[in-house]
Amino acid sequence: MERTFAIIKPNAFLAGNAGKIIARIYAEGFKIVGMKKLYLSKREAEGFYYVHKDRPFFGELTDFMSSGPCIVMVLEAEGAIKKWRDLMGATNPANAAEGTLRREFGDSLEANATHGSDAPETAAFEIGYFFSGLELLM
């Protein structure tokens, strides 16, 4: 079993789509090991996305991520990291395949509805950024 870190981003939360996304997560066979709603500060969003700090979109991305509530989750499944990224679809909703979450709920390249870790090392960092071990007891 593998764990990954997921976010329902502010555009999806504010549009009332969190419930539909969570239903898909269960339907696809993930276990939700941890889940909470947060309203990130700009500084907290910058800390989360620090690997992108030199990218041209960093300022706008962290403004967006602190513009409304998010739901942060730890998902567990066999091959959870790839399984969740496959379910999300391509970064740009315009390029995301039919049936993926970003295709259905994404509004733009930036406001693309969901986040998912891209490797075991990033999953470990991202889970630890938002959750303590005590919050992930099953």
Residue 115 annotated in active site: yes
Q: How far is the CB of 127 from ligand UDP (least distance, A)?
A: 16
Residue 83 CB contacts under 8 Å (≥ 6 apart), including other chains: 4, 28, 30, 77
Segment 3 to 62, residues that bind ligand UDP, using CB under 6 A? 57, 61
| Per CB under 6 A, 110 contacts ligand UDP | yes
Residue type at 94 in one-letter notation: A
Count of residues engaged in binding ligand UDP, rule: CB under 6 A: 8
From residue 116, give the alpha-carbon distance in Å to each of 35, 72, 82, 138.
14, 10, 9, 21
Residue 48 among known ligand-binding residues: no
Among 91, 104, 107, 125, interactor with ligand UDP by CB under 6 A: 91
Residue of 93, 115, 116, 117 with catalytic role: 115
| Per CB under 6 A, 107 contacts ligand UDP | no
Binding residues: 9, 57, 85, 91, 102, 112
Positions touching ligand UDP (CB under 6 A) are 57, 61, 91, 109-110, 112, 115, 118
Which residues are catalytic, by number? Answer: 115
